Every structure is written in C-alpha cells, then in structure tokens.
Amino acid sequence: MLKIGLIREGKIPADNRVALTPAQCKWIHKNSNDIKVLVQSSPNRCFKDREYSIAGAEVKEDVSECDILLGIKEVPKEQLIPQKTYLFFSHTKKAQPHNQQLMREMIAKKITLIDYECLTHDDGQRIIGFGFFAGIVGAHNGMMAYGKRTGSFHLSRVSDVEDYRELIHTYFGLKLPKIKIAVTGSGRVAHGVLEIMNLMGIHEVEPFDFLHKQFDYPVYVHLKGRDLYERKDDGTYNRENFHHHPEEYKCTFSPFAKKADVLLNGVYWDKTIPHLFTVDEFSSPDFSIQTIADITNDTNGSVPVNLGDSTIEDPIYGVDRKTMQKTVAYLPGSVDLMAIGNLPNELPRDASRYFGEQLIKYVLEDLVKGGSPILERATILKSGTLTDAYSYLKEYAGI
C-alpha cells in the first residue's frame, strides 16, 4: 500500500493551503485500496485537523512512514526527511538563488523531488497550479486599490469573506466608473482575472477600440502574446518561436500604457522576455496607469517597477514616478502596485479544492503506478541526483 503524507507547511509565514482537502482524502480512501493518506498535524491549515479526522484520515505528528510527502511551498531544509519522495513548489528550476541551499540539502539527503510547476501534459500545458485563484484574488485587489485611490467605489478584502461564493455576492450592485483596464496573459491567471471582469459587469472591447474610442462604461481589453510582442526583424508573432527565442522580440504594450487606468498583469515572464514598459515610459506624463496588480509577481520582471513583494496584510504600496522609490500607497505622485506572492491564500479552501481535483485527476494514479512520462518530466531530483532534463542546474546544485 502506498502511504501519502500531507506535511505541515514549515515556511514562514506558513501557507494555509493544502494539496488534498478532507473530502478528497475521504474519496481516495473510498475509491482505492492501494492508498492511505496520513495528515501531519498543523495549526495553520485552512482545514482543521478535526476535519481530516472526521473524513477518516489519520492525523499524527510523525509522517516518516510515508512513501510520498505532499506540501505546497518550499520545505525548510532542516525538516526534510532523507530518502523520501516530495511533491511541492520548490522554486528551483530557474536556479533561484534563495533556494540554492534547499536544493543542495535535498541532494545531500538523497531526496526525490517532483515539482508541481513542472507537471505538464505532452503539449507542455501545465497540469496543476493555483493560478486561477491567484487571478481571482489579484484582480479583486487591483480593483479594490483603484477604488481606494479614486474614492469612486469600495470593495472589501477577499480575506473578509468565507469563500468564493460569498465573494461573488459582494459584487451585486457594484457601480463602477468609466475606467479602462488592461488584462495581460492567456493562462490560468488570466482566466481568473477575466472571471472577475465578467462578475463585475465590465465589458470586453477589442484592442483597436480600447486605444481609439471613449466609453461611457467600464471596459477591459484582453492582451495575449500576439497583442503584446512582435519580432524585431519583421513584426510577426509565432507563439512557439517566441517561447524559444523571446530575446528576438520586442514588447508592443506602450500604446495601452497611455490609455489604461488599471493594469492586471498575468503574463509569464523570465529574464529573456522583454518588459511590458520601460522605467522612462513609467516616468512619462503619457503613462496613464494609476494601479497595477502584478499577479504573476516577478520583482523587476514584466512590470519593471515591481520593487518586491507586498503582503496579504499590507497588499498595496506606491512607486514614485520620478524616483522609482517605494512609498506608501495612494500618494498623488505615485502609482499603486500590488505584488503578493501567495494570493490564493486569501481563498484557501476554494484554491485547495481546485488544486486537489487536478492532482487526483492527472497525477495520483501515476504515483500509485510508480511512474509515468508526466512524473518523469517533473522529477528534478531522483534519489538526490539531478535528472537529465535538469542537468543545467549542476552549478547551482554544487555538483
């Protein structure tokens, strides 16, 4: 029998999401004789220990008997159990400096690491993630910040509601001014943002109309890859070519930065992809954006004035348009920015439920079988050794 353990989140501040909900644990036990789920006791989860116990999962402190351990965020290196298989978001595949010691500790302890971020279908599409709920919460927070800056409407905090269903009810009767919103990206994050746009009754318009027309009601434009980037040599766009050679492209977002009031950013970014705008454009009087929700949240990334994380407790900070220095929010000479790294924690029960459904549907059976192409593609370490697909991390891993 395969023993799967839900580990307690050890990273500070502790994440409150889980890989499997109590109801999902109950379903697994009912539908499979090959799996037993154990739950490490935790005071911080959005689902209490008692809920897991009622659902029939064994709650205990020591989960070292488990074959596979499921977490969410990075596991503190001193809490790693040697020679186990772990699934969590390790944030190591881009050789992130802050997790280098974690990588080296996992190698020393001969751990097998399967990274959720690397679980993909054959066509490269990601299988699992919290992006949709990051989009939901990020869009809400961005609109909340704009309402606060202008005084034109009021939205409460997402964390004040019990769940997503209750959040939807807060939009009934919401009257928005005639604002223009730019939504960027085409993945799960963008889908979450679009959900909020529709729930708020904001109308979608075409890029040309967004740039050239005035509207008497709130509108948004949805900008995907071909709307944002073009080749430097001939002005064309090809999705596959862009992902392989982003350095050969330039960004075409500038006209929208002169027309939008709010930017809800959901584009994927790494250091070879051009920024959405330059610091000089940000300082220009033509830059009309007053509020930026950088939902994908890369410091100095697609949004080059992202000066680092904000928090759920203090979600918005300002960026001075002349000095580029961080300020308090809502000052006249600044643009407000939201850059929260754990947005789904504001709707943790819904986000966990969605995450667990994908895990059960696409990954669980492969874990029971002991392997699959999906798991192979996502395995960064096998018993402490870098797999071939991630051999580019050798120097980072100290090998």
Q: What is the pLDDT of residue 326?
A: 97
Other CB atoms within a 10 A radius of the CB of residue 26 amount to 17
Residues 104 and 211 in one domain: no
- Strand-pair partners of 319: 326, 335
Question: 205: which 2 tokens?
Answer: 């318009």
**339 and 211 belong to one structural domain:** yes
> Quick one: 318 and 187 in the same domain?
yes
- Domain end point (choices 346, 370, 387): 346
Same domain, 379 and 325: no
In angstroms, how far apart are the furthest CA atoms of the chain?
65
Residue 124 scores a pLDDT above 90: no
CATH of the domain at 12: 3.40.50.720
Q: Distance between CA 236 and CA 7 in Å, rounded?
A: 47
- C-alpha span between 268 and 297 (Å, rounded): 9
Res. 162 pLDDT band, cuts 50 70 90: confident
How many domains does the structure of the chain reveal?
2
**What digits encode the pLDDT tens for the residues 294-329?**
999 999 999 999 999 999 999 999 999 999 999 999
Q: What are 246-257's pLDDT values in tens digits?
A: 999 999 999 999
Same domain, 142 and 92: no
Residue 232 lies in domain:
131-346
Considering the domain architecture, whether residues 290 and 356 belong to the same structural domain is answered as no
Band (pLDDT 50/70/90 cuts) for residue 89 is very high
Is 388 found in the same domain as 278? Answer: no
Whether residue 234 sits in one domain with residue 372: no
Instruction: Please determine, for residue 392, whether its predicted confidence score (pLDDT) is greater than 90.
Output: yes
* Percentage, residues of the chain above pLDDT 70: 100
Q: How far is 91 from 97, CA to CA, in rounded Å? A: 10
